[in-house]
Chain A
Amino acid sequence: QSVLTQPPSVSGAPGQRVTISCTGSSSNIGAGYDVHWYQQLPGTAPKLLIYGNSNRPSGVPDRFSGSKSGTSASLAITGLQAEDEADYYCQSYDSSLSGRYVFGTGTKVTVL
């Protein structure tokens, strides 16, 4: 069902930098639609982490940053902390099939 592809897992030691890719196509990210990122801590509802490709909502630490280029987007976490261990999802809009929101496959971040 997911049309945005993410790596299943990434890991890093505390303090390190990790990146998560989100690969789409010409009908979603490549068409110019914004990419948003969500963090889902274990047992909780997802929370908006990055909106409009690179903007952080109030309260989100500046350790989290987003970027977009062509048909892909990326989320970077610098200075990785134990509390960052969570699932991360990208999301965009797809103009095919009468238009719909689409989510990435999700990435589990593990802090070693």
Chain B
Amino acid sequence: QVYLVQSGAEVKKPGASVKVSCKASGFIFTSFGISWVRQAPGQGLEWMGWISAYNGNTNYAQNLQGRVTMTTDTSTTTAYMELRSLTSHDTAMYYCTRAGDALDMWGQGTMVTVSS
């Protein structure tokens, strides 16, 4: 069974950073990429970026360039997404996904709330 298990909910103050983890199991981690997708409350899906678990190459959404960093640890088959300089607009559910031809497996989501 393929699983993506994410870290727990976070509450951050404006200006802070958050790092969300995504533990993969049940497949060859380095054969896929990991994409991160977020969803603000009551809103649609927003693609944040992609990282190759094979070589660490990344491709970030333009509106997040400079604030987001995606990494992987192949020894623990875990992907990470760090978002800096948080504002209230970053309050959302954050999902990691297995990225092959499509986003065929999703984590359960991590709620990040930014509030003073």
16 A-B pairs with C-beta separation under 8 A: A1-B63, A34-B101, A45-B95, A46-B45, A47-B106, A52-B101, A89-B44, A91-B45, A97-B62, A98-B62, A99-B59, A100-B47, A101-B47, A103-B37, A103-B46, A106-B44
Interface residue total, chain A, C-beta cutoff 8 A: 24
- Beyond contacts A45-B109, A89-B45, A101-B103: 5 other A-B pairs, Cβ-Cβ < 8 A, are A2-B44, A36-B102, A48-B102, A52-B102, A100-B59
**B18-30 interface code vs A (CB 8 A; 1 in, 0 out):** 0000000000000
| CB atoms of B45 and A100 under 8 A apart | no
Whether A105 is near chain B, meaning CB under 8 Å from some CB there, is: yes
B93 nearest CB neighbor, chain A only: A45
| CB atoms of A100 and B104 under 8 A apart | no
**B36-67 interface code vs A (CB 8 A; 1 in, 0 out):** 01000000111100100000000101110000
Interface residue total, chain B, C-beta cutoff 8 A: 21
Whether A102 is near chain B, meaning CB under 8 Å from some CB there, is: yes
Given contacts A2-B44, A105-B44, A106-B44, contact A100 B106 (CB under 8 A): no
Whether B14 is near chain A, meaning CB under 8 Å from some CB there, is: no
Residues in A neighbouring B103, C-beta threshold 8 A: 36, 38, 46, 48, 91, 101
Whether A61 is near chain B, meaning CB under 8 Å from some CB there, is: no
Residues in B neighbouring A101, C-beta threshold 8 A: 35, 47, 50, 103
Chain A positions near chain B (C-beta within 8 angstroms): 1-2, 34, 36, 38, 45-48, 51-52, 57, 89, 91, 97-106
> How many angstroms from the CA of A101 to the CA of B104 in the assembled complex?
14
> How many angstroms from the CA of A47 to the CA of B2 in the assembled complex?
13
Given contacts A46-B95, A100-B62, contact A57 B47 (CB under 8 A): no
Given contacts A1-B63, A36-B102, contact A45 B44 (CB under 8 A): no
Residues in A neighbouring B45, C-beta threshold 8 A: 38, 46, 89, 91, 103, 106
